[in-house]
Structure 1
Amino acid sequence: METEKIIRLSVRNLVEFILKEGDIDNRISGTLDKDAMLMGGRLHRKIQRMMGSNYQAEVSLKLQLPCEGFQLKLEGRADGILLESEKTIIDEIKGVVRSLDRVERPVPVHLAQAKCYAYIYARQQGLKQISVQMTYCNLDTEDVKRFREEYTFEELEKWFLDLVHQYERWAKLQIEWEKRRDASIHQTEFPFAYREGQFDLAASVYRTIYHKKKLFIQASTGTGKTMAVLYPAVKAIGEGLGDKLFYLTAKTITRTVAEQAFSILEEKGLAFRSITLTAKEKICFCEKTECNPDACPYAKGHFDRVNDAVYDMLEKQKKLTRESIERQAEDFHVCPFELSLDLSEWADGVICDYNYVFDPTAHLKRFFADNVSGDYLFLIDEAHNLVERGREMYSASIYKEDVLEVKKLMKDRDKKLVRSLESVNKLMLEMKRECENYRLVESVSPFAVKLMNLLTQMERYLEEERNGGNAEQPDAFMELFFQVRQFLEIHELLDENYIQYTELEGNGRFKIKLFCVNPAENLNHYLKLGNSTIFFSATLLPIDYYKQLLSVEKDDYAVYAESKFPQENRKILIGSEASTKYTQRGTEMYCKIADYLRSTVDGKNGNYIAFFPSYQFMEDVLEEFEKLASGVELVIQSQFMSENQREEFLEMFEEERDHPMLGFCVMGGVFSEGIDLTHDRLIGVIVVGTGIPQVCNDREIVKNYFDQRGMRGFDYAYLYPGMNKVLQSAGRVIRTEDDKGIILLLDERFQNRQYQQLFPREWKEYEVCARKEIKEKMEEFWENR
């Protein structure tokens, strides 16, 4: 007998999905919503503690409701339940920055959420009456304003069941789709003949998902890791081990790889809704991205039409491609970006940037709000990038010069706001006088208090301007507004993983920074909302480094998937006469490196790329190489390339030519990872330098942080990130089993044990050579191929 389908849904998602209406308007800052600002957390808890012994805080509420053909399982968390004599009151707390005088009534969606909690609790406790209390608290003054209303169980039930009834048609549509999807998953086989080791890799992924664990995969290029990760994850969904997968990437180019993998499975008969979330600025129909009804016709009345647009796409089973989403948005006159977000709720797989899951200011609230877990599978591609991206997402800075600029802009506009800006500027000036380069500080709480007052004044000013018909504000003002909000949100996250410091930069700008040195705890906050996580990359060495910075668990699995390429198809050389140490840089060394490059490309006609530690270093070597470079075509990466320019750069490697071509690129740049130049499109890579980042205050802070904890600070701050860039760059040359190519490492330090310990296992065979030996070794290698 077939068991009845259970659909899980958060209370928040139910009310926001069914009851949303009106315009998109980003001029309304959203600070009435507690999720818009993490900084309300402490005040939130303070109010709960003040409510006395009859107050239960953070009460988890669940209700499984029989519907036609399925069971609806609703989940949520009431901020508080107050038992007051013979009354029961559901309390919903919202932090606001605006003056409470301007809060005249509860926000309808907030009230609806509280009414759902009231219905669930009253039903479970057999109550005939129950009250709902909306508690709004000002985050600056800590003033509180409450609205209370009493309901009979009958009127709540009528309202609630009508809400559920509106959702039923959507649920039935999804159930029918999932039946078709699961049937297709069971029939879909792995689309290729398994490469050696690929089946074991796929089996490891499936076992990890089955046991609800995390897995770290170091898989060299050519192991087929994308399909080996994606296929078992899809299979797991078919077996009920997850209901949605998130394929997370750091760069646009790796999203394309995931899209291609889904397409290959679909060609084999898989029915699976996958969607790629495109950045708002890229998919917006307007010349300038201004999300309000005055500037954008698609924003006006968007929420009145968007559900019809979504239902139409799902019912007609249209593919959720960027092109089809844009057409649907045009047809229904809605925002394409917001439409894609709504469609993601009904997708089986979501391909997106890291920030849609992990960024506290940009994550998808529909999936990750209220700490309600889901049966999500997280597949994190190029996971080595998540360390630095995590640090960025969970760090925040405020610059004194930005505060001063906005103060000047507001000078004749608003005295209260100017006074608040002056107060912040004055405190920053005091801190600047105590800072010569950078200075660690124990606490920035006094500064955060000043910022809270500033945010209140900025919020008030914005609202008064909007009410007066002046919605447009200077860019500098809005940028500072969002920076202040972010700083206060990050301030709520401070723990032992953070360092707080001030810095006087070389250009004279002064900042206060909350620096997240180890992002693992913050990342885990979101990862624990899913079932399982697979971290995978071609360069995840040393594995313990990534475990330390990406996970808080001690029992995570790890797999090393070795390359199965024939060793004889790859030649690895280390140049003994080259160095990129600062003490040895100069014309003489640039000439030596240029000579290595020339000798390499002379070994065989074909396409090569040289990767350099910086643009300046690249230009210095290029100047010397051009003196030797007759007969070699050059293609050079520039610092600010558009997408079209990047495509044109890569297209150069498609052309046939009767002379060698050498690309000059930068390690860690857009061409050093995620690009596939297979077969004879690229036959050699020269990596100039060890990739070690320049010494800077952030790096020194990381070094000292780990040194103080008994770990090798230099390795964490410099060596591991640098070698990752080296391995990524070198990985461009051998992409398929049939590829043949050379890797030349130009820095004498590659002969040192601490660097060679980080070489992949398949690099065990290498030769050290001088410049005069290069051409001969190249010719010898290619003659035998």
Structure 2
Amino acid sequence: MDNLTPVTYTLSVHEVARLLAEETSAARHGSHARIGQAVHRRLKRTRHWRTEIRLTLRLTSPHATLDIQGRLDALEPIQEGEHLIECKSTRQTDTPTPTQGERLQLQLYALMRWRQTGTLPARGSLLYLNPDHDTPMPVPVDVTEPTLRALEHHLSADLHPLFDALATHRARLIPRLRHLPFPKPTRRAGQGRAMRHTYRRLSRGHRSLLEAPTGTGKTLAVMYPALRATGRRHGDRIVYLSARRSTRQMVSQVLAPIARQTGLRILTLEAQDRLCDQAHDTPCDCDPAASALQQARSDALKQEAWHMDQLVTLARSHRLCPHRFIQHLSDWADVLIGDYHHVFAPRGGLSLKPFGQRTLLLIDEAHNLHERLCEHLTCELSLHKTDPWRTLPLVRAIRRLPAGAWHRLSTLSTRTLTGTTELLAGWLSDWLARWTQPGDLFQDTRPEQAHLNTLLKLLTLLEQPPETLVFQH
């Protein structure tokens, strides 16, 4: 191995719970999270709780050290000891059923608190909050000693070996990338200078813009120094983005012999209908129990190099959806190849710092980035699915507006809304604040894209609305 010093991976409690529950990373950044945070703050201000308790847990082995970190939402002193509370936002009016990941998240906090203080928590609760109501809905969670000991064993026996395997793989890979020869017999004019500039900027953690005519080999002039920089530990993984599928396929073909030579793990992120047979006609439902995913992931991590055809075959042999399986493996890849939306779309779901790893982000054909970002932040709102919004307090407030106000909003809704999210959301929020009460939906929220989308949906409830309302950032 290149270095016998254990590699340290920094994981959030949310990441660990997601891995143990085998949930996909696409749900990392839910649009309701910001609203939930605002409601959490409002609830905590009304309770005599200790809030935002920082907790850590370290697991060590010869090859990998896991540094698990997180902040418990609230701690309530009770007669029996400590009551641990984790807040969650929900749209349900009845008490919801916690997901496995939510239960594991609180149990991880309980384990970390137990190891930190030496005292077993007395109780644990998930506190669900609906932003339209002030009444919290608590759900008890088992934080007894047998449960926490079983969770600790699960971390040591099932999760930690995955990171041992990742550290071992990277230790074999790094010296091979460090001495990686240029994959072409000759270099084109200007390639050498571009590669030296790119390597220098990447090794120092700086940004850079490279412009060159088509056919000069600029893609390889960026990818090759990025691989060498990874071999010098200036980064842990590479994410390559391009707007064109043909370019992504070309990069994958260029990297294929390098993968065979070095053991590089390459993943190409494709649309679901290109990987899953069921996705063409019906929603994909070919995911079995989490145990099959664990076994398939374990089999994949035993392979030195990854090839997409082999991974798709492996997924199908375990009766897994290939698209979802590739998503689950994305955090463990050395090179990820994808479209812009995997990083820049509001629900792209791709983390640039999984397990605390440093990512070298390469954006090819960047002149397409502005147009694609406008597409990702453009909303077309249909008038046929507005019934659920009629129950919101803010909708009821808007429908009580005087005739003059209705005319003003109707005029606004009949044209394309163009401008920045901050300006438009701020204008709408300030104007609507005069017609809402403190307990309404948008109290204490930030004017972000998700909230703006909701505001725009409300405009479809106006008298004689247009067929389609478009917002372009």
State the TM-score, normalized to the length of structure 1.
0.50
C-alpha displacement of 1:501: 13
Equivalent residue letter for 2:290:
F
Query: Matched residues in 2 for 1:144 and 1:72: separation?
Result: 34
C-alpha displacement of 1:255: 0.7
Q: Any idea what SS the aligned residue of 2:194 has?
A: helix
User: In structure 1, what is the equivalent of residue 292 of structure 2?
Assistant: 305
The answer to whether structure 1 residue 233 and structure 2 residue 226 are counterparts is yes
Give the counterpart of 1:37 among 3, 28, 32: 32
User: In structure 2, what is the equivalent of residue 144 of structure 1?
Assistant: 136
The answer to whether structure 1 residue 257 and structure 2 residue 257 are counterparts is no
C-alpha displacement of 1:47: 2.7
Query: Matched residues in 2 for 1:429 and 1:109: separation?
Result: 44
Q: Is this contact kept in 2: 1:185–1:238, CA < 8 A? A: yes
The answer to whether structure 1 residue 5 and structure 2 residue 42 are counterparts is no
Query: Matched residues in 2 for 1:2 and 1:287: separation?
Result: 45
C-alpha displacement of 1:287: 5.8
Query: Matched residues in 1 for 2:98 and 2:457: separation?
Result: 38
Decide whether aligned partners of structure 1 residues 224 and 318 sit closer, same or farther in structure 2, where only a CA change above 3 A counts.
Answer: closer
Give the counterpart of 1:385 among 368, 371, 378: 368
Alignment of structure 1 residues 725-744 onto 2, 5 Å:
none
Alignment of structure 1 residues 488-567 onto 2, 5 Å:
490-492=449-451, 509=466, 515-516=472-473
Query: Matched residues in 1 for 2:471 and 2:353: separation?
Result: 24
C-alpha displacement of 1:439: 7.2
Equivalent residue letter for 1:359:
A
C-alpha displacement of 1:96: 0.7
User: Based on CA coordinates, which of the two structures has the bigger radius of gyration?
Assistant: 1
Decide whether aligned partners of structure 1 residues 121 and 360 sit closer, same or farther in structure 2, where only a CA change above 3 A counts.
Answer: farther
Query: Matched residues in 2 for 1:87 and 1:5: separation?
Result: 37
Deviations along 1:3-37, one digit per CA (max 9) or x if unpaired, are 1233343332322223338xx9x9xxx8xx87352
C-alpha displacement of 1:340: 0.9
Q: Is this contact kept in 1: 2:6–2:63, CA < 8 A? A: yes
C-alpha displacement of 1:138: 0.8
User: In structure 2, what is the equivalent of residue 648 of structure 1?
Assistant: none
C-alpha displacement of 1:72: 1.8
User: In structure 1, what is the equivalent of residue 421 of structure 2?
Assistant: none
Query: Matched residues in 2 for 1:83 and 1:224: separation?
Result: 64
Query: Matched residues in 1 for 2:69 and 2:21: separation?
Result: 18
C-alpha displacement of 1:284: 1.9
Query: Matched residues in 2 for 1:34 and 1:81: separation?
Result: 25
C-alpha displacement of 1:151: 4.0
Deviations along 1:35-72, one digit per CA (max 9) or x if unpaired, are 352443322332344344x4333x55443311354322
The answer to whether structure 1 residue 200 and structure 2 residue 200 are counterparts is no
C-alpha displacement of 1:357: 1.6
C-alpha displacement of 1:137: 0.6
User: In structure 2, what is the equivalent of residue 779 of structure 1?
Assistant: none
User: In structure 1, what is the equivalent of residue 357 of structure 2?
Assistant: 374
Q: Is this contact kept in 2: 1:90–1:118, CA < 8 A? A: yes
- Bigger relative contact order (CA 8 A; separation at least 6): 2
Query: Matched residues in 1 for 2:20 and 2:417: separation?
Result: 51
Decide whether aligned partners of structure 1 residues 122 and 303 sit closer, same or farther in structure 2, where only a CA change above 3 A counts.
Answer: closer
Decide whether aligned partners of structure 1 residues 378 and 436 sit closer, same or farther in structure 2, where only a CA change above 3 A counts.
Answer: closer
Q: Any idea what SS the aligned residue of 1:240 has?
A: coil
Q: Is this contact kept in 1: 2:120–2:145, CA < 8 A? A: yes
Decide whether aligned partners of structure 1 residues 419 and 87 sit closer, same or farther in structure 2, where only a CA change above 3 A counts.
Answer: closer
Alignment length (residue pairs): 444
Equivalent residue letter for 2:196:
A
Q: Is this contact kept in 2: 1:500–1:515, CA < 8 A? A: no
Query: Matched residues in 2 for 1:216 and 1:501: separation?
Result: 41
Decide whether aligned partners of structure 1 residues 77 and 223 sit closer, same or farther in structure 2, where only a CA change above 3 A counts.
Answer: farther
Give the counterpart of 1:336 among 300, 322, 333: 322
Decide whether aligned partners of structure 1 residues 201 and 4 sit closer, same or farther in structure 2, where only a CA change above 3 A counts.
Answer: same
Q: Is this contact kept in 1: 2:352–2:358, CA < 8 A? A: no
User: In structure 2, what is the equivalent of residue 444 of structure 1?
Assistant: 428
User: In structure 2, what is the equivalent of residue 167 of structure 1?
Assistant: 159
Equivalent residue letter for 2:235:
G
Deviations along 1:120-144, one digit per CA (max 9) or x if unpaired, are 2332344343643311111332431
User: In structure 2, what is the equivalent of residue 243 of structure 1?
Assistant: 236
Give the counterpart of 1:276 among 258, 268, 271: 268
Q: Is this contact kept in 2: 1:122–1:153, CA < 8 A? A: no
Query: Matched residues in 1 for 2:467 and 2:220: separation?
Result: 47
User: In structure 2, what is the equivalent of residue 432 of structure 1?
Assistant: 410
Give the counterpart of 1:348 among 320, 334, 348: 334
C-alpha displacement of 1:383: 1.5
Query: Matched residues in 2 for 1:436 and 1:216: separation?
Result: 40
Q: Is this contact kept in 1: 2:8–2:64, CA < 8 A? A: yes
The answer to whether structure 1 residue 79 and structure 2 residue 63 are counterparts is no
The answer to whether structure 1 residue 65 and structure 2 residue 62 are counterparts is no
Decide whether aligned partners of structure 1 residues 43 and 392 sit closer, same or farther in structure 2, where only a CA change above 3 A counts.
Answer: farther
Deviations along 1:517-555, one digit per CA (max 9) or x if unpaired, are xxxxxxxxxxxxxxxxxxxxxxxxxxxxxxxxxxxxxxx
Deviations along 1:238-264, one digit per CA (max 9) or x if unpaired, are 222222211112221221232133124
Query: Matched residues in 2 for 1:92 and 1:419: separation?
Result: 26
Equivalent residue letter for 2:30:
D
Q: Is this contact kept in 2: 1:122–1:130, CA < 8 A? A: no
Q: Is this contact kept in 2: 1:281–1:289, CA < 8 A? A: no
Query: Matched residues in 1 for 2:168 and 2:4: separation?
Result: 14
Q: Any idea what SS the aligned residue of 2:209 has?
A: strand
Decide whether aligned partners of structure 1 residues 113 and 122 sit closer, same or farther in structure 2, where only a CA change above 3 A counts.
Answer: same
Equivalent residue letter for 1:56:
T
Give the counterpart of 2:50 among 25, 35, 55: 55
Structure 2: gaps spanning 5 or more residues: 419-423
User: In structure 1, what is the equivalent of residue 170 of structure 2?
Assistant: 178
Equivalent residue letter for 1:384:
H
Query: Matched residues in 2 for 1:429 and 1:368: separation?
Result: 46
Percent identity over the alignment?
23
Query: Matched residues in 2 for 1:327 and 1:43: separation?
Result: 45
Alignment of structure 1 residues 294-693 onto 2, 5 Å:
296=285, 298-299=286-287, 301-317=288-304, 319-321=306-308, 323-364=309-350, 374-398=357-381, 402-403=382-383, 405-406=384-385, 430=407, 431-433=409-411, 437=415, 443-445=427-429, 490-492=449-451, 509=466, 515-516=472-473
User: In structure 2, what is the equivalent of residue 735 of structure 1?
Assistant: none
User: In structure 2, what is the equivalent of residue 521 of structure 1?
Assistant: none
Decide whether aligned partners of structure 1 residues 8 and 439 sit closer, same or farther in structure 2, where only a CA change above 3 A counts.
Answer: closer
Deviations along 1:90-135, one digit per CA (max 9) or x if unpaired, are 4322111111x242x4322112112212322332344343643311
Q: Is this contact kept in 1: 2:237–2:333, CA < 8 A? A: yes
Equivalent residue letter for 2:342:
Y
Query: Matched residues in 2 for 1:95 and 1:383: separation?
Result: 37
Query: Matched residues in 2 for 1:501 and 1:417: separation?
Result: 11
Query: Matched residues in 1 for 2:259 and 2:38: separation?
Result: 48
Q: Any idea what SS the aligned residue of 2:229 has?
A: helix
C-alpha displacement of 1:279: 0.5
The answer to whether structure 1 residue 134 and structure 2 residue 126 are counterparts is yes
Q: Any idea what SS the aligned residue of 1:217 has?
A: coil
Decide whether aligned partners of structure 1 residues 258 and 78 sit closer, same or farther in structure 2, where only a CA change above 3 A counts.
Answer: farther
Q: Is this contact kept in 1: 2:76–2:85, CA < 8 A? A: yes
Q: Any idea what SS the aligned residue of 1:177 has?
A: helix
Equivalent residue letter for 2:32:
M
Query: Matched residues in 2 for 1:219 and 1:3: separation?
Result: 41
Decide whether aligned partners of structure 1 residues 438 and 252 sit closer, same or farther in structure 2, where only a CA change above 3 A counts.
Answer: closer
State the TM-score, normalized to the length of structure 2.
0.78
C-alpha displacement of 1:341: 0.9
- Over the aligned positions, Cα root-mean-square deviation in angstroms equals 4.2
User: In structure 2, what is the equivalent of residue 584 of structure 1?
Assistant: none
The farther-off stretch of 343-352 and 175-184 is 175-184
Equivalent residue letter for 2:58:
Q
Q: Is this contact kept in 2: 1:92–1:133, CA < 8 A? A: yes
